[in-house]
Structure 1
């Protein structure tokens, strides 16, 4: 058979829940998946998503509440379901209502749809969320999520990954990987992926879990921010005026002021990120000591946004971080931002998962797991799936 007669490569299909602006999709497709169906409830995110991907008929984006979606509405031949479910009620910034909260309870709608798919549910599922899921309600919410996947026939692995291993941004996240045909246990202990504080699900005999062997992670980064920042001219109006800059400097604690003073004495141009905190009821600015960004957040008020501090020749300039810088720090530097409003873009990127983290997980874990599962099913169609665990 000639190469021109070779059959086309069939890529595993993905259902993308809580899709946001599609950063998970970028990482998944870098690993050889094809996202066939996506859902989100925010029109601004949908506009960014569709403006970037410009899909044809091969992709469906459903705008609206996931609670209005039925299992019969979904493609029936997907191999992977990815869910970056709302983290508002699990994060420190939220009310810590957990999976029962108004937004984070959307997880249960995701589980409902998997249940409605029945025997056609994907072989592999992923839930991505903030690390607060591990401690929410004393760990009960994480246990409930694992148990819900068990009830649908999935063994679950729980992983901790920080985007700082791939980009100069501190962004820790949890990933629950559910598999109907999990790999055999025996993974080499990896405290970076499964630290001591994440052992509770694996030690609970009432849960069905596994641990996949994965390659070593890249080291945590402490530099790289400066290289990603835009070159904003001194005359640009985005730099804060003298009065606002002085107010910024005046809000610094003695420790923070000393940090800036040391940077002013350093040679060349120094750049750092800064963010506002409330200390003893007073809003103050804090400047990072290293050349990375803090965790990007949604632009819901000024305290959620990060500023760029540039120090050169003893002088200090400050401005807000730009949408393009957010995109670069999320590993999606070439994302199409044409026509996007500033806060629309900041919100979209601040509420997303970093692309290279998804690409690493998909390349080293999800794609091999899907391929292995497909071979298992093909070899023995009568092989029973993991017995559902019903409470």
Structure 2
């Protein structure tokens, strides 16, 4: 059953080292009206690239003058569309070809990159301020030395013409710090010490526009669901106002990693674009846009849009056991009997009953557990079901997730989750792990699920850039068929 509340699993967002600035809400352009949608067009999954739709090419002629605050569509998109249109018989791109270039802000260990590059994108520049995450990124990807820039984002806008600055890009991706937006982070919002780096990111986007003559055609933000409700929606409104001022309309969706992997990890994605608006979804309370997003999307003082998208996969109810490392894997370190006994002593009645029930099964059962403090008393809570809890970083004992093994005729066994299990639950089973376990836990616990990003890239970002999401008609026009 889909949860209808913007839960973040309470403590799922650690403090990052980024520090930014606060900004008052800027003035807003009027909202753009939408047209009545028709059924959603079929979308092919990458790497079988979808056909290039002539819709943007036809609309480009109508908007070539570009109204104030609404830059013309990206020259990259125009070149691609024109090149394909000039070749008789060409209706699709070569299979697996990366069309669009990405500047990846707050890149961490590069899991957003893995998702984007499975969906038709190529990350050409990345930035973060955490040296250990940079080391993990460089240990996994084979990039030129100047690909990943270890630098404070506040310095980038003021030095936009530096060789270290982001290159021209079609997509700017930003997984900016969630610390001040999470339920566990004090909820200071976009004025907070860490999450205020959103404003610094938009400063860089504006500087890229001044330098290149155009800003990236699409912006994608990733954060916790609490972004939408922080300060009763005022932070989301201020963020959209800033994007509007830069010439973008904005859409907001929520997507749980549990739709792809056995981990509960709901996240919010804001897709902003200065391209023509695709066909609108007039429905309410959907899987991607539950009713708690209405405040953000129905505010007529800001320019938002609900793009008609395919339904995401259903939430998974199992699968964790299939990902567990083998009991005799060298990285698995089971606790000794004394430590397990202490673990059992900190189980509540309902959790002891859960252990006893699963301990009567002939096949081994694996569950994840967190250590909580209830009424000042530490206690272990075992998840009910074959799905892991939201992965976190290794800061503090309550942030670590334990693995509990139960089987008939066998003693209870407990251990910490391995780095490889973290990688599997984040959709990156083959990621090159560092030697230090805690470094890996910090990197994966502070990242975004690869599969969630891949779904967004394949079904929203790439079709938006190629024009295969049918655009809404201009006044006096009929919708162009894909």
Instruction: After superposition, give the CA deviation of every residue in 1:292-317 in whole Å (9 maximum; x if it has no partner).
Output: 10000011111101000001124210
TM-score, structure 2 normalization: 0.73
> Could you tell me which of 159, 165, 179 is aligned with 2:253?
159
Instruction: After superposition, give the CA deviation of every residue in 1:118-167 in whole Å (9 maximum; x if it has no partner).
Output: 24210000110001111211111111111111111110000000000000
For residues 308-319 of structure 1, the aligned pairs below 5 Å read: 308-314=403-409, 315-319=411-415
> Could you tell me which of 427, 432, 438 is aligned with 1:331?
427
Q: Distance in 2 between matches of 1:320 and 1:257?
A: 19
**Number of equivalent positions:** 370
Q: Distance in 2 between matches of 1:48 and 1:275?
A: 26
> Could you tell me which of 213, 218, 222 is aligned with 1:124?
218
Shift of 1:258: 1.1
For residues 155-234 of structure 1, the aligned pairs below 5 Å read: 155-187=249-281, 189=283, 191-233=286-328
Shift of 1:326: 0.3
TM-score, structure 1 normalization: 0.90
Map of 2:154 onto structure 1: 67
Q: Distance in 1 between matches of 2:259 and 2:425?
A: 12
Closer, same or farther: CA 324–373 of 1 in aligned 2, 3 Å:
same
Q: Distance in 1 between matches of 2:470 and 2:412?
A: 60
Map of 1:244 onto structure 2: 339
Structure number with the higher helix fraction is: 1
Q: Distance in 1 between matches of 2:185 and 2:286?
A: 28
SS in structure 2 at match of 1:69: helix
Q: Distance in 1 between matches of 2:326 and 2:141?
A: 27
Pairing 1:78–2:169 present: yes
Determine which structure has greater relative contact order: mean sequence separation of CA pairs < 8 Å that are 6+ residues apart, divided by chain length: 2
8 A Cα contact 2:206 2:215, kept in partner: yes
SS in structure 2 at match of 1:210: coil
Q: Distance in 1 between matches of 2:308 and 2:276?
A: 11
Map of 2:110 onto structure 1: 22
Shift of 1:181: 1.3
SS in structure 2 at match of 1:120: coil
Map of 2:201 onto structure 1: 110
8 A Cα contact 1:273 1:293, kept in partner: yes
Closer, same or farther: CA 79–261 of 1 in aligned 2, 3 Å:
same
CA RMSD of aligned residues (A): 2.3
Pairing 1:139–2:227 present: no
SS in structure 1 at match of 2:430: coil
Q: Which runs of 5+ in 1 are unaligned?
A: 377-391
Instruction: After superposition, give the CA deviation of every residue in 1:362-387 in whole Å (9 maximum; x if it has no partner).
Output: 000000111229999xxxxxxxxxxx
Shift of 1:55: 1.0
8 A Cα contact 2:153 2:200, kept in partner: yes
Shift of 1:188: 5.2
Closer, same or farther: CA 151–237 of 1 in aligned 2, 3 Å:
closer
Deviates more, 1:250-259 or 1:154-163: 250-259
Q: Distance in 2 between matches of 1:77 and 1:64?
A: 18
